[in-house]
Amino acid sequence: MSSMAIDRRTLLIGAAVVVAAGRRGIAAALPQDAEVRLVSACQRADGSHAIALLSREGRILREVPLRGRGHDIAFDPGSGRAVAFARQPGLFAVAFDVSGETRAPRAPVVFAPPENRCLFGHGLFSPDGRLLYATENDLDSGEGRLGIYDAHAGFARIGELSTFGVGPHEVILLRDGRTLAIANGGYEMRPDTGRIRIDVEAMQPSLVFVDRLSGELITEHRLPAALNALSIRHLAADPHGMVWFGAQWEGDMAAVPELIGCAGRDAPMRLVTPTSPLGRTLKGYVGSVAVSRDGSVVAASAPRAGRILFIDPATATVRATTTLADGCGIAGIGGDSFAASSGLGVLQFARAGGAPDFSETLPGVAFDNHMRLAL
């Protein structure tokens, strides 16, 4: 039996731990008409990993322990469930209850991809909550796949779609409930080689639109050949159907291009053109992209540079920037406000170009790359 098979069969998760750490209130920054929670993977003071579920008052309501580092979270508002995905190349995902203090949460459910697949850190639920889609690598062919899991049957894997590329990372669902936008990063990672990027010289990143019901390719956007080292990684859609992407440069750091752009099903791909070049300033790395809840602002984090950019989606220009050391997680929380989190345990709320409305460091918590608003 392979060591990978043993690893998959021995996935364990501890019981959820309730922690009551009082925090200064942040309720004013969040919508008051919904039971809101922010959720993020994190590392704890003892080096272990967990999912942190935060209340609107800034308290950690619960922690769901993980057997390894987590990445992004998908939500199903109808069932009140969420799924956290292992960081790529990952071998586990965890479904858990996002309910807070009003009732006892259901026990987490751990599941894994098949032996010849690994997870790439992102996924989403179908609009009816029945299906979970997860970005994966086919370890036999090296091609990207979107695994399909039955959320009503213990997250049993029931099928897959092609991502029409290599190294799919984030996938999002457009407002029609049918069209998927998928960021193909352009290179592989494998569990047996860890975080080593495979065949970077042959990268062909793409942003594709796929019909989730038929699996058919609707539109494929590719960068010019000179930008093949620009790995398209993270996505967010604005109200007008444009999909915004953040990229990571795998080429010569002396030649970093711009890292943020957009495209639509019927609109060509373009990169944001700032008044002065930003690629090198951002150190070749964008870690997360989000659109404000009112659709007026696109935010992109650059954790290696300690900066967050705010972009006007109507003009594709940079409106403002703010600083947050190792800041990566961003989420629209109401109007044009965003939550931002950092690997140094900072939780912040701010609007484009303004000073933070709220900023606090949570002791013993190092937030991971993505923070999500659960409604």
- For the stretch 169-202, pLDDT in tens is 999 999 999 999 999 999 999 999 999 999 999 9
Give me the pLDDT at residue 351, please. Answer: 87
Residue 160 has pLDDT above 70, yes or no: yes
Q: What is the amino acid identity at position 234?
A: H
Give me the pLDDT at residue 275, please. Answer: 87
- pLDDT band of residue 353 (cuts 50, 70, 90) is confident
Give me the pLDDT at residue 29, please. Answer: 60
**Rg (alpha carbons) of the chain, rounded to whole number:** 19
Q: 28-42, 57-71, 240-254, 342-356: lowest mean pLDDT where?
A: 28-42
The residue-averaged pLDDT of 348-360 equals 85
Residue 281 class from Cβ within 10 Å (0-12 exposed, 13-18 middle, 19+ buried)? middle
Residue 91 has pLDDT above 60, yes or no: yes
User: Is 199:225 a contact under the CB 8 Å cutoff?
Assistant: no
Residue 6 makes CB contacts below 8 A (sequence gap 6+) with none
Structure tokens, 197: 């990027």
> Using one digit for the tens of pLDDT, what is the confidence trace for 301-336?
999 999 999 999 999 999 999 999 999 999 999 899
Residue 20 has pLDDT above 50, yes or no: no
Residue 326 makes CB contacts below 8 A (sequence gap 6+) with 303, 306, 342, 343, 344
Torsion of CA 345, 42, 75, 132, to 10 degrees: 150
b/e burial code for range 67-87 (CB count within 10 A of at least 16 → b): beebbbbbbbeebbbbbbbbb
Give me the pLDDT at residue 27, please. Answer: 54
Give me the pLDDT at residue 28, please. Answer: 56
- DSSP for residue 247: E
Residue 130 makes CB contacts below 8 A (sequence gap 6+) with 150, 151, 152
- pLDDT band of residue 21 (cuts 50, 70, 90) is very low
CA angle, residues 271, 273, 274, in degrees to nearest 5? 140
Residue 97 has pLDDT above 80, yes or no: yes
CA–CA separation, 115 and 135 (whole Å): 15
- pLDDT band of residue 357 (cuts 50, 70, 90) is confident
Residue 6 has pLDDT above 60, yes or no: no
The residue-averaged pLDDT of 133-159 equals 97
CA–CA separation, 161 and 175 (whole Å): 20
Of 306, 342, 311, nearest in space to 322 by CA:
306
Handedness of CA 324, 262, 314, 337 (dihedral sign): negative
Mean per-residue pLDDT of the chain = 89
CA–CA separation, 247 and 233 (whole Å): 5
Whether the full predicted model's pTM is greater than 0.85, yes or no, is yes
Residue 24 has pLDDT above 60, yes or no: no
What structural domains does the chain harbor?
A: 3-374 (2.130.10.10)
Query: Which one has a higher pLDDT value, 1 or 305?
Result: 305
The residue-averaged pLDDT of 266-283 equals 94
User: Is 282:305 a contact under the CB 8 Å cutoff?
Assistant: yes
Give me the pLDDT at residue 8, please. Answer: 39
The residue-averaged pLDDT of 34-39 equals 70
